[in-house]
Amino acid sequence: MTNHTQTETAPDGAALLRNEPVQARSTARLASLLDAAAAIIDEIGYERLTTAMVAERAGASIGTVYRYFPDRIVVLQSLSARSLGIFVDATRETVLDPAHTTWWDATSACIVGMTTAFRSFPGFRSLRLGDVLDVRPSLSAQSGSAVVAAAGAAAMAERFGLPLDELAHHLEVVIVITDSLLSRAFTYNADGDSKLIDEAMTISKHYLTGFYGDPRQA
């Protein structure tokens, strides 16, 4: 088991834990702690989260929490890193799904996935892809939106032959716009304001077609 005396930064910007779990039992314990943190964040927001709350909700000792997380900041970083990993995998899987016959079909499906996450993914409405946090582990770390955009761009180029030049940047713009509109859509409505959700789709499509043309003619 690797011990870290301080939080380090992985290449994708994810925080490394104080103790990286290598056994199934340790991995399950870590998952339960992060699940507890996500549930608390859904109730009170990430700003008020404490390690003591995580321990109590998970039915663990505070020592167990500190075994993995030196402080609440690393809890938030780790929870964000977990969500980010899920979104990177989901984005690539969605884009490469043969059911999506155009690049816009794939993009709109990713936006639907993000909307679903706002509606039902524990902790996501507050933390999203982690870009809301002012506790990024390193000034050199990429934003969460940039990491997802890079994965989406590679898959788009592979699946639909879109030119890779500037594609990641354009997709990051779409993610940032969508994140902003969805955040507002779910602020006062647990199901999301449908008009704002629709606007996220409309603006994103209009923006991307300006670079890649009508997807129906691709």
pLDDT, tens only, 39-82: 999 999 999 999 999 999 999 999 999 999 999 999 999 999 99
Structure tokens belonging to residue 218: 């691709």
Say how many residues make up the chain. 218
Residue 105: per-residue pLDDT: 97
> pLDDT tens digits for 85-119?
999 999 999 999 999 999 999 999 999 999 999 99
Going from the N-terminus, what domains does the chain have, and what CATH number goes with each? 79-217 (1.10.357.10)
Tokens 């592979």, residue located: 158
pLDDT of residue 24: 61
Cα distance from N-terminal residue to C-terminal residue, the chain:
51
Instruction: Quote the DSSP letter at residue 16.
Output: P
Secondary structure of residue 67 in the 3-state scheme: helix
pLDDT score for 65: 95
Confidence (pLDDT) at 217: 76
Q: What tokens were used for 210?
A: 């300006």
**Which pLDDT belongs to residue 87?**
92
Better pLDDT: 218 or 194: 194
User: What does the pLDDT read at residue 132?
Assistant: 78
Average pLDDT on 18-26 reads: 62
Asked if pLDDT for residue 9 goes beyond 50, the answer is no
Question: Would the pLDDT of 12 be above 80?
Answer: no
Largest CA distance in the chain: 59
Whole-number average pLDDT of the chain: 87
Sequence-distant (≥ 6) Cβ neighbours of residue 139 within 8 angstroms: none
Name which residue leads in pLDDT, 21 or 26. 26
